[in-house]
């Protein structure tokens, strides 16, 4: 039986990493990123945590923070629903996507749990990175669903947003721990009118209210982040379009979930990508976005560079930074927190977007593990159909097993400046070879 008491002290560990996309360190799979800038001037990302390639989420929440969008600090175990320092006294199930909001120096984490309970509650901390201590269950009436979001308007009124397939919304009282049950409104966004699936996030820009959400309008899957706008916080909301689509981040991709936030004068979209050839093991990423004069947001593409500059061609380009995959190839963990591109078949492609070649390079080195049949690594610039317009590398065949080798070959032509870097694979049979990294040499 679930215990009735609460342990107040949580063990929180932190580490600082330099990252472009994905922004979390290798081995940490933060999904459903909800971004906020608090009074200390830092940007914080709250999200769920994938631990398995067989199911979404876990009983833990971690937090990422940054002062420059490049150096990220990871705070682990800021809130837990089971095990040591359990903060949910009534239920041990996994924690779905959370959100957090600040009021009067206190931080309110809104959480929800997977079936069979779908319980929604609030935990409170004096710090944006926790520990968050259980406060109470939220009474959402008949609408026990997932993916909570909080927002405080300019007049001080707080709102709670949540739901799946149709978006629900309610006013909160000043304590940030109770809903005005009479204000609960269903169908603020719907699948039919807005392509709404789940994963709401609410913010405001130039007098317009924006809801960002998982968008079900392409390919029968919620791979997009869409948005809708209104002049009133509780609507009606007008469909706006797609901000980003994470389709082709991985062969198994299913959903997306994220947010938008302004940091030091630039707006960004935060989203996640799946990995390991599954719909799970999702990793938080970020891209700059632009508002047009009419309040619309242009769709942006997935990149390797994220909020930072283009990757340097003469630095090691780890497969972890690949931003697009077509075919069966996918990323997989190996060794000690290393990522490889594996299950490579004929005509699979992968992309780094974007790479800066500076004033030019002379050769390329690749680290590969040859497969039974071997194959060819064809590298081109700018477009996926530019197969091998830069270099073609023969990867020898070898017996079964991981034995890594480095191959260096000269490139065909002079290349300078910034380009998308496309990898195309060719050969016979499955598992042609595996790729760890590549690097260009002056």
Phi, psi of 192 (to 5 degrees): -65, -45
For residue 283, pLDDT over 50 is answered with yes
How distant, in Å, are the alpha carbons of 256, 289, 364 from that of 224? Answer: 6, 15, 35
First to last CA, the chain: 64
**374 and 279 belong to one structural domain:** no
3-class secondary structure, 241: strand
**217 and 101 belong to one structural domain:** yes
For residue 114, pLDDT over 80 is answered with no
For residue 270, pLDDT over 70 is answered with yes
Name the domain count of the chain: 2
How distant, in Å, are the alpha carbons of 201, 227, 231 from that of 204? Answer: 11, 12, 10
3-class secondary structure, 266: strand
**247 and 369 belong to one structural domain:** no
**127 and 274 belong to one structural domain:** yes
Task: Name the pLDDT band for 9 (thresholds 50, 70, 90).
Answer: very low
User: For residue 12, what pLDDT is reported?
Assistant: 56
Strand 60-66 to 43-50 pairing? antiparallel
Q: Where among 228, 258, 289 does a domain terminate?
A: 289
**401 and 329 belong to one structural domain:** yes
For residue 397, is it within any domain? Answer: yes
Residues sharing a CB contact under 8 Å with residue 282, sequence separation 6 or more, in sequence order: 29, 30, 31, 32, 50, 272, 273, 274, 275
For residue 387, is it within any domain? Answer: yes
User: Which domain range does residue 414 map to?
Assistant: 311-441
**380 and 422 belong to one structural domain:** yes
For residue 86, is it within any domain? Answer: yes
For residue 335, is it within any domain? Answer: yes
Listed range (32-36, 292-296, 335-339) with the worst mean pLDDT? 335-339
**236 and 364 belong to one structural domain:** no
For residue 295, is it within any domain? Answer: no
Task: Name the pLDDT band for 116 (thresholds 50, 70, 90).
Answer: low
**330 and 250 belong to one structural domain:** no
User: For residue 372, what pLDDT is reported?
Assistant: 86
User: For residue 412, what pLDDT is reported?
Assistant: 81
For residue 249, is it within any domain? Answer: yes
Cα 389 to Cα 246: distance, rounded to the nearest angstrom? 27
Report the b/e string of 134-153 with b at 16+ CB within 10 A.
bbeebebeeeebbbbbbbbe
User: For residue 399, what pLDDT is reported?
Assistant: 67
- Asked whether the beta carbons of 306 and 21 are under 8 A apart, the reply is yes
**50 and 191 belong to one structural domain:** yes
For residue 3, is it within any domain? Answer: no
For residue 17, pLDDT over 80 is answered with no
Phi, psi of 266 (to 5 degrees): -115, 135
Angle, CA of 315, 435 and 301, to the nearest 5°: 65
Q: Which two tokens stand for residue 132?
A: 């968050």
Query: What is the model's pTM?
Result: 0.95
Cα 121 to Cα 138: distance, rounded to the nearest angstrom? 5
Could you please report the per-residue DSSP string of 60-91? EEEEEEESSSSEEEEEEEEEESSSTT---TT-
**149 and 246 belong to one structural domain:** yes
- The CATH number given to whatever domain includes residue 72 is 2.115.10.20
Q: Where among 289, 319, 334 does a domain terminate?
A: 289
**229 and 187 belong to one structural domain:** yes
For residue 304, is it within any domain? Answer: no
The mean of the pLDDT values for the chain is 93
Q: Where among 259, 289, 319 does a domain terminate?
A: 289
**189 and 268 belong to one structural domain:** yes
- The CATH number given to whatever domain includes residue 433 is 2.60.120.260
């Amino acid at each position: 039986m679930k215990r009735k008491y609460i342990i107040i002290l949580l063990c929180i560990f932190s580490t600082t990493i330099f990252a472009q996309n994905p922004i979390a360190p290798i081995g940490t799979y933060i999904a459903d990123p909800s971004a906020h800038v608090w009074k200390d001037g830092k940007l914080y990302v709250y999200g769920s945590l994938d631990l398995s390639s067989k199911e979404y989420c876990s009983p833990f929440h971690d937090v990422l923070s940054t002062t420059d969008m490049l150096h990220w600090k990871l705070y682990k175990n800021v809130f837990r629903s089971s095990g040591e320092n359990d903060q949910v006294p009534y239920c041990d199930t996994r924690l779905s996507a959370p959100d957090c909001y600040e009021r009067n120096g206190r931080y309110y984490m809104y959480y929800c749990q997977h079936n069979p309970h779908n319980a929604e509650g609030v935990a409170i901390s004096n710090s944006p990175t926790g520990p968050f201590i259980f406060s109470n269950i939220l009474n959402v009436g008949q609408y026990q669903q997932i993916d909570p979001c909080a927002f405080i308007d300019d007049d001080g009124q707080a709102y709670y947003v949540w739901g799946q397939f149709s978006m629900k919304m309610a006013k909160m009282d000043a304590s940030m721990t109770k809903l005005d049950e009479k204000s609960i409104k269903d169908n603020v966004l719907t699948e039919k009118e807005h392509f709404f699936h789940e994963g709401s996030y609410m913010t405001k820009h130039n007098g317009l209210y924006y809801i960002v959400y998982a968008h079900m309008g392409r390919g029968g899957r919620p791979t997009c982040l869409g948005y809708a706008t209104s002049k009133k916080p509780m609507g009606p909301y007008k469909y706006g379009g797609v901000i980003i689509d994470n389709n082709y981040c991985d062969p198994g991709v299913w959903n997306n979930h994220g947010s938008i936030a302004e940091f030091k004068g630039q707006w960004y979209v935060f989203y996640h990508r799946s990995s390991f050839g599954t719909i799970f093991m999702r990793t938080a990423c970020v891209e700059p976005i632009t508002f047009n004069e009419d309040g619309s947001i242009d769709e942006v593409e997935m990149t390797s560079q994220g909020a930072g500059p283009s990757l340097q061609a003469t630095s090691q380009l780890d497969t972890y930074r690949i931003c697009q995959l077509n075919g069966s190839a996918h990323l997989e963990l190996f060794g000690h927190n290393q990522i490889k591109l594996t299950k490579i078949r004929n005509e699979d492609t992968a992309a780094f977007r974007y790479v800066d070649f500076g004033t030019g390079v002379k050769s390329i080195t690749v680290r590969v593990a040859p497969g039974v049949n071997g194959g060819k690594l064809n590298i081109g610039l700018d477009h996926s159909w530019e197969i091998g317009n830069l270099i073609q590398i023969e990867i020898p065949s070898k017996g079964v097993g991981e034995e890594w080798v480095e191959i260096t070959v000269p490139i065909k032509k002079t290349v300078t400046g910034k380009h998308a870097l496309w990898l195309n694979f060719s050969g016979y049979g499955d598992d042609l070879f595996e790729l760890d990294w590549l690097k260009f040499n002056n």
